[in-house]
């Protein structure tokens, strides 16, 4: 049996898992522990461990290089597949090795890469043992956020003989080389050189991912370790690594500058205290089936979509819960098939509004998703981001602002003043000042008053008849009022004599009424009463005594107000009895038919509307005195 050392067993190494917070998730650190104990950590809420104990899961087959495959499950139920393999060449197998055993080449359980090189193959690269540890899921490599493990007892049996051996390792990975650090940095006890540095003896320079034992020739031997951690290094691979490899060689020929040496069998321990960390994330998006509610007793249904944002699938052995601050814990439907990366799982929950909600502005729910296994408490599950959903209580509100245009003058009988038939255009602006759209908004307007008297004209239909107004939106309605002559008569010449008050109303989608303020618009009808009189005589020249002269008087209402009880008095210069105007007759009906009235021919016209004209007549018999005096 070749001579190899089996070091003393000391306390097992335990390396802490470094963790970080990530957006909308916690970092899942997966620790692959190839020791007889599980790694511990103080920040359980932020990470979890994948763990494996060599000798049980899996049980390394003695003498086999593998590959050995295994599946690890973390505390949340996520699973990752591992593969470990040793490839050897250029040497003689030591029966029963590789083998996992406590205390082999270090202070923790490891797989011993024991190998006896052939004569003349005691240099770097001539009899390599190459150990590879890789991770995947569903046959696809999983880029980790870091792999690390201890390479144990990299030192020689330095007895200043040609059968001595000097260990050499080179570590590589598929995402870059690892960094190497001493497990025991106490300088006096260290028996390992870590690159970048000069190698031991005649060995060339070491790269940053290489380490070698310290070998001395002469009367003083090298500071060998005796199965402790003085000859061990920790290799830490960068993020993105899915496959980590360590090549182990002897290097005595390189150290001594000789060839054809036949050193004794020697080896190192591999994969002691291994750690793998993976950022496993889930995210939550929450929505509600309604955007508003009216009062108590209404049901709001929430939908929670959980997305798998991490590199590992969610498997059927896991379950998802939702913690909603208004509803409580919601158990999501069972996971029927694995949820791939980027896949989703949907849950629902219901909430009934309360009496308190009926007076609140909104219902605000904050929810977080958690994934785990069995009846695992929510606090110990891998948790998502928190998502907030706000459902507002319908509080519709509208305001009204009304304005009136200047009364027109062209439509009535008097073309220069406002009278019957002329119009006033009213404008109604309704603003939505509430938090929800208001539907079927209409205007209520009893019509204008004229110096306090109800109008007798006509208010048109509103345009539009009704409208739906969005939040912060507005709608302008218009209507036209056609003046009656009585409206003008009641208010003409009075400042702001025309006054109009209106309101608006509507309701939210949930049926909550919205009633506006009352808004008043005022305007003035200018003008007043005015009449003109024209008089003609027939005959009107060289009239002899005894001839009867007929006078015709035309009275026209040239104002915009009805004139009543028109009575003509003719101031006559003749010597006879003066003419008495009578026989009044309506001769011009320019406006509304029938708006000028008289009950009989008594010499007084009772009502004359604007634009209308009435004709009176009278007679006078010319006297001789009138002729003599040329009257």
For residue 583, give every residue at least 6 positions away whose Cβ sits within 8 Å of its Cβ, in sequence order, or none.
601, 603, 616, 617
Q: Is 183 helix (H, G, I), strand (E, B) or coil?
A: coil
Give 464's pLDDT tier (boundaries 50, 70, 90): very high
- Residue 16 domain-assigned (yes or no): no
Residues 62 and 201 in one domain: yes
Q: Is the pLDDT of residue 501 over 90?
A: yes
Confidence of residue 227 (pLDDT cuts 50, 70, 90): low
Tell me what the mean pLDDT of segment 292-308 comes to.
Answer: 97
Helix %, strand %, coil % for the chain, to 5? 5, 45, 55
In this prediction, residue 54 has a pLDDT band, given cuts at 50, 70 and 90, of low
The helix/strand/coil state of 502 is strand
Residue 279, SS3 per DSSP? coil
Percent of the chain scored above 90 by pLDDT? Answer: 64
* Structural domain contains residue 358: yes
pLDDT for position 224? 60
Residue 586 lies in a domain: yes
Compute the average pLDDT of residues 360-386.
96
Question: What is the spatial distance between Cα 112 and Cα 267, in angstroms, rounded to a whole number?
Answer: 7
Same structural domain for residues 174 and 60?
Answer: yes
pLDDT of 225 reads 58
Asked if the model's pLDDT at residue 512 lies above 80, the reply is yes
Query: Does the pLDDT at position 166 exceed 60?
Result: yes
CATH classification at residue 464: 2.60.40.10
Question: Quick one: 161 and 292 in the same domain?
Answer: no
pLDDT at 196: 97
Query: Are residue 213 and residue 74 in the same domain, yes or no?
Result: yes
d(CA 56, CA 39): 16
- Are 265 and 171 within one domain? yes
Instruction: Give the chain's mean pLDDT.
Output: 87
Residue 12, domain member (yes or no): no
The answer to whether residue 200 scores a pLDDT higher than 80 is yes
With beta carbons less than 8 A apart as the criterion, state whether 432 and 628 touch: no
Of 83-92, 112-121, 288-297, which one has max mean pLDDT?
Answer: 288-297
Question: Alpha carbon of 471 to those of 363, 433, 507: distances in Å?
Answer: 19, 7, 13
**Residue 31 confidence (pLDDT) above 70:** no
Mean pLDDT within 612-617: 95
Whether residue 3 is predicted with pLDDT greater than 80 in this model: the reply is no
Say whether pLDDT at 123 is over 50. Answer: yes
More confident residue, 177 or 161: 177
**pLDDT at residue number 517:** 97
Distance between alpha carbon 272 and the CA centroid of its chain, in Å?
A: 47
User: What's the pLDDT at 7?
Assistant: 31
pLDDT band at 15 (very low <50, low <70, confident <90, very high): very low
Q: Given 247, 276, 305, which residue is the final one in a domain?
A: 276
Q: Do 557 and 543 reside in the same domain of the chain? A: yes
Tell me what pLDDT residue 598 has.
92
Domain limit, last residue, from 365, 393, 421: 393
Q: By residue range, what is the domain housing residue 353?
A: 282-393
User: Region 308-321: what's the mean pLDDT?
Assistant: 95
The two three-digit tokens of residue 240, written as one number: 């993105």
Q: How confident is the model at residue 222 (pLDDT cuts 50, 70, 90)?
A: low
Region 149-157 average pLDDT: 83
- Burial class of 53 by CB neighbour count within 10 A (0 to 12, 13 to 18, 19+): middle
The predicted pLDDT at position 53 comes to 66
SS3 per-residue string spanning 493-562: CCCCCEEEEEEEEEECCCCCEEECCCEEEEECCCCCCCEEEEEEEECCCCCCCCCEEEEEEEEEECCCCC
Domain count across the chain? 4
Mean predicted confidence (pLDDT) in 111-135: 90
Domain boundary among 227, 257, 276: 276
pLDDT of 465 higher than 60: yes
| C-beta of residue 6 within 8 angstroms of C-beta of residue 101 | no
**Separation between Cα atoms, residue 341 and residue 319, nearest integer Å:** 16
Residue 55 in this model has a pLDDT that exceeds 70: no
Residue 51 token pair = 């763990």
Alpha-carbon span 456 to 257, nearest angstrom: 125
pLDDT digits (tens, 9 = 90+) for 542-593: 899 999 999 999 999 999 999 999 999 988 888 888 999 999 999 999 888 8
Whether 136 and 207 share a structural domain = yes
Residues 325 and 386 in one domain: yes
Same domain assignment for residues 511 and 566: no
Q: Is the pLDDT of residue 207 over 60?
A: yes
The Cα 125–Cα 10 span in angstroms is: 32
pLDDT (average), residues 117-145: 91
Can you tell me the mean pLDDT for 65-88?
A: 91
Domain shared by 382 and 412, yes or no? no
Q: For position 568, what pLDDT does the model report?
A: 92
What pLDDT score was predicted for residue 188?
Answer: 65
> 5-19, 72-86, 168-182: which has the minimum mean pLDDT?
5-19
Averaged over 139-163, what is the pLDDT?
84
pTM for this entry: 0.73
Provide the 10 A C-beta neighbour count for residue 61. 12
Task: Identify the band that residue 473 occupies on the pLDDT scale cut at 50, 70 and 90.
Answer: very high
pLDDT at 372 over 50: yes
Is pLDDT above 60 for 45? no
Q: Calculate the alpha carbon distances from 338 to 308, 345, 475 in Å.
A: 11, 10, 54
Is residue 406 in a domain? yes
- Nearest alpha carbon to residue 32 among 316, 242, 267, 314: 242
- pLDDT tens digits for 390-426? 999 999 999 999 999 999 999 988 999 999 999 999 9
Q: Does any domain span residue 14?
A: no
- Burial letters for 544-578: b for 16+ Cβ neighbours within 10 Å, e otherwise? eeeeebebbbebbbbbbbbbeebebeeeeebeeee
Is the pLDDT reported for residue 344 higher than 70?
yes
Q: Would 546 be classed as within a structural domain?
A: yes
Do 269 and 312 sit in the same domain of this protein? no
Determine the pLDDT at residue 8.
Answer: 28
Residues 96, 31: one domain?
A: yes
Question: Which runs of consecutive H residues, i.e. helices, occur in 77-182?
Answer: none
SS3 label, residue 229: helix
Contact 591, 610 (CB under 8 A): yes
Position 221 pLDDT exceeds 80: no
| 126 is a domain residue | yes
Q: Does residue 254 sit in helix, strand or coil? A: helix
């Amino acid at each position: 049996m070749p001579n190899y050392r089996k070091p003393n067993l000391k306390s097992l190494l335990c390396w802490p898992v470094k963790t970080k917070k990530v957006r909308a998730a916690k970092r899942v650190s997966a620790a692959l522990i190839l020791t007889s104990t599980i790694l511990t950590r103080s920040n359980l809420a932020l990470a979890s461990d994948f763990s494996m104990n060599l000798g049980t899961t899996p049980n390394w087959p003695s003498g086999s290089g593998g590959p050995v495959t295994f599946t690890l499950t973390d505390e949340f139920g996520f699973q990752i597949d591992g593969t470990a393999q040793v490839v050897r060449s250029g040497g003689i197998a030591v029966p029963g090795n590789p083998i996992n055993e406590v205390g082999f080449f270090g202070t923790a359980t490891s797989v011993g890469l024991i190998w006896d090189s052939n004569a003349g193959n005691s240099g770097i690269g001539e009899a390599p043992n190459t150990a590879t540890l890789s991770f995947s899921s569903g046959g696809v490599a999983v880029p980790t956020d870091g792999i690390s493990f201890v390479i144990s007892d990299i030192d020689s049996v330095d007895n200043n003989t040609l059968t001595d051996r000097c260990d050499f390792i080179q570590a590589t990975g598929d995402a870059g080389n690892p960094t190497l650090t001493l497990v025991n940095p106490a300088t006096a006890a260290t028996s390992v050189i870590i690159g970048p540095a000069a190698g031991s003896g005649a060995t060339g320079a070491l790269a940053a991912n290489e380490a070698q034992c310290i070998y001395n020739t002469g009367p003083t031997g090298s500071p060998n370790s005796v199965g402790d951690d003085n000859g061990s290094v920790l290799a830490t691979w960068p993020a993105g690594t899915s496959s980590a490899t360590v090549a182990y060689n002897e290097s005595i020929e390189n150290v001594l500058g000789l060839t054809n040496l036949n050193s004794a069998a020697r080896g190192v321990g591999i994969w002691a205290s291994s750690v793998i960390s993976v950022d496993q994330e889930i995210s939550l998006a929450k929505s509600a089936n309604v955007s508003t509610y009216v009062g108590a007793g209404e049901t709001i249904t929430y939908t929670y979509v959980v997305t798998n944002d991490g590199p590992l699938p969610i498997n059927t052995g896991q379950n998802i819960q939702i913690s909603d601050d208004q509803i409580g814990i919601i158990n999501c439907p069972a996971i029927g098939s694995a949820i791939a990366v980027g896949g989703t799982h949907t849950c629902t929950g219901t909430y009934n509004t309360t009496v308190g909600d009926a007076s609140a502005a909104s219902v605000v729910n904050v929810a977080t998703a958690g994934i785990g296994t069995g009846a695992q408490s929510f606090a110990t599950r891998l948790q998502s981001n928190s998502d907030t959903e706000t459902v507002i209580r319908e509080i519709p509100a509208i305001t009204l602002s009304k304005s009136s245009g200047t009364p027109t003058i062209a439509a009535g009988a008097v073309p220069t003043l406002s009278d019957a038939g002329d119009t006033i255009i009213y404008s109604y602006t309704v603003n939505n000042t509430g938090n929800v759209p208001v539907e079927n908004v209409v205007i209520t307007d009893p019509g204008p008053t004229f110096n306090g008297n109800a109008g007798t004209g006509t208010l048109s239909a509103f345009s539009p008849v009704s409208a739906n107004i969005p939040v912060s939106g507005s709608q302008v309605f218009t209507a036209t009022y056609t003046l009656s002559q009585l409206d003008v008569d009641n208010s003409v010449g009075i400042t702001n004599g025309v006054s109009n008050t209106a309101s608006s109303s509507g309701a939210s989608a949930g049926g909550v009424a919205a009633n506006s303020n009352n808004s008043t618009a005022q305007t003035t009808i200018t003008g007043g009463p005015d009449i003109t009189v024209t008089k003609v005589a027939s005959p009107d020249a060289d009239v002899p005594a005894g001839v009867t002269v007929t006078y015709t008087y035309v009275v026209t209402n040239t104002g915009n107000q009805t004139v009543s009880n028109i009575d003509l008095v003719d101031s006559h210069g003749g010597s006879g009895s003066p003419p008495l105007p009578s026989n009044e007759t309506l001769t011009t009906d320019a406006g509304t038919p029938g708006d000028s009235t008289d009950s009989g021919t008594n010499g007084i016209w009772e009502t004359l509307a604007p634009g209308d004209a009435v004709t009176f007549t009278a007679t006078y018999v010319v006297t001789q005195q009138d002729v003599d005096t040329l009257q």
